[in-house]
Amino acid sequence: MYWTKIYCLRIQSTKQDFSQPPVGRPAQLVIQCIAFEALDIDEKPMSKTATLNLRIDADLKAAFSKLAEREERSTAYMVELAMRDRLAFEAAQVRAIEVGLEQANRGEVVPHSAVKEWAKNLGIDAELPLPTSKTNPL
């Protein structure tokens, strides 16, 4: 199951009174979307909350407030999203390092001399192919 978030650039409608149901033809509504994001349900904010008090730069607070107003959300919600994004970024970085260490422990490494030779030839017409591990070529 997915949560869906759509950001809309512009909404247009016909000049008619929307307080009354349309008579004879359906109301026209055009929505042009500039971004679409499908979020896995696991990314839904947790229902249990805790309070966190922190001091931030006034300009940063103003930027979050402006973003919150534009997104029609609370400033606290936008700060929470930013914190979640940062934690996800850090977790991905840690996982990438762990994968690299696992590969190194298995001997899947590229000799420094091969990387040096490859880097020396970057930007010339006869670039060398990306060096790969002898035990696990790409």
Give the pLDDT band of residue 9 (cuts 50, 70, 90): very low
Cβ(6)–Cβ(39) under 8 Å? no
Q: What are the CA-CA distances from residue 89 to residues 5, 9, 42, 46, 102 (Å)?
A: 20, 28, 16, 19, 20
Interval 68-107: pLDDT, tens = 999 999 999 999 999 999 999 999 999 999 999 999 999 8
CB atoms within 10 A of CB 62: 11
Q: Where are the domains of the chain?
A: 111-138
Q: What is the pTM of this model?
A: 0.52
Q: Which residue has the higher pLDDT, 1 or 127?
A: 127
Better-predicted residue by pLDDT, 93 or 42: 93
Q: Which residue has the tokens 């359906």?
A: 26
